[in-house]
C-alpha cells in the first residue's frame, strides 16, 4: 500500500484537497476574506484560521498550538457559534443542498464540510494549508457550494482524533476539542 503523499494534492470525489506546511499568513496577493480564532475548551485562544477565495474554492491556512500530538479531523460546521461546552452549537457539517454522506473516501460522499486531517507535531503545533472546492466565501445564485458567510455563519471544528473519511457521521474522529467562528475580514 502506498502512503498518502505529504506535499502533493489529494483528489477525492469532486474535492481537490492538499495539506501543506505553511507560514502564519496567506501570501500578500491572496489576502484572507475571512478569519477565525480557535478556542479550546475553557475559552483559551489556541490559534487562527485564514480563508481566501479562489476561482473554484477556498484555501484555509490553519495555525494552532496546544493540541495533542498526532492526527486530528477538521471540518466546516453549519453555525458560527463556539460558545458552549463541547462546541455543539456549531451544529453539523455545512451543506449547500441535500446533505451528502460523510467521508472523503466514501463513494457516496463527501459532504461539504469534509476536509483532510491535520497533524499536530510533538509540541502540539499545527501549521497547515487546506483547500476545498465544496465551499465559498462569496456566494452567488449560480453557486452549488456551501456558503460559509451566510446569515447563521459557520465554524471550523478540530476533533480529538483523526477522521477515517468513511464512517458516519464524523469518521470516528471523537469529541470536538477546538472551534473557530468564521468571520468576514472587514
Coil, strand or helix at 180: strand
What global pTM score does this model have? 0.82
* Dist CA 144 CA 140 (whole Å): 9
Q: Which CATH superfamily is domain 14-184 in?
A: Superoxide dismutase, copper/zinc binding domain (2.60.40.200)
Cell numbers placing 8: 502533493
pLDDT of residue 22: 37
Cβ atoms of 163 and 173 within 8 Å: the answer is: yes
**72: closest CA among 164, 180, 3, 163?**
163
pLDDT of residue 31: 65
Bridge partners (DSSP) listed for residue 34: 51, 184
**186: closest CA among 47, 80, 31?**
31
Bridge partners (DSSP) listed for residue 64: 47, 126
In the DSSP assignment, the letter for residue 58 is E
Cell numbers placing 39: 478556542
Coil, strand or helix at 50: strand
pLDDT of residue 55: 86
Task: List per-residue pLDDT tens for the chain, 186 residues long.
Answer: 333 333 333 333 333 333 333 333 444 455 678 999 999 987 789 999 999 998 889 999 999 999 999 999 999 999 999 999 999 999 989 888 777 888 898 888 898 899 999 999 999 999 999 999 999 998 766 678 899 999 999 999 999 999 999 988 888 899 999 999 999 998
Distances in Å between the Cα of 106 and the Cα atoms of 57, 70, 75, 111 are 21, 23, 15, 10
Q: Residue ranges per domain, the chain?
A: 14-184
Cell numbers placing 140: 452567488
Amino acid at each position: 500500500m502506498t502512503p498518502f503523499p505529504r506535499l502533493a494534492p489529494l483528489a477525492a470525489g469532486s474535492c481537490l484537497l492538499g495539506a501543506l506546511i505553511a507560514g502564519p499568513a496567506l501570501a500578500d496577493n491572496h489576502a484572507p476574506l475571512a478569519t477565525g480564532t480557535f478556542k479550546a475548551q475553557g475559552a483559551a485562544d489556541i490559534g487562527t484560521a485564514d480563508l481566501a477565495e479562489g476561482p473554484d474554492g477556498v484555501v484555509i491556512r490553519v495555525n494552532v498550538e496546544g493540541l495533542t500530538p498526532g492526527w486530528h479531523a477538521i471540518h466546516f460546521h453549519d453555525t458560527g457559534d463556539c460558545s458552549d461546552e463541547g462546541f455543539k452549537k456549531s451544529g453539523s457539517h455545512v451543506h449547500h443542498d441535500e446533505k451528502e454522506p460523510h467521508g472523503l473516501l466514501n463513494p457516496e460522499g463527501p459532504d461539504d464540510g469534509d476536509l483532510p486531517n491535520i497533524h499536530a507535531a510533538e509540541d502540539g503545533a499545527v501549521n497547515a494549508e487546506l483547500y476545498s472546492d465544496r465551499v465559498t466565501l462569496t456566494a452567488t445564485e449560480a453557486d452549488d457550494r456551501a456558503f460559509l458567510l451566510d446569515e447563521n455563519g459557520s465554524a471550523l471544528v478540530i476533533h480529538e482524533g483523526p477522521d477515517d473519511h468513511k464512517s458516519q457521521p464524523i469518521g470516528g474522529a471523537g469529541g470536538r476539542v477546538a472551534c473557530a467562528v468564521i468571520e468576514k475580514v472587514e
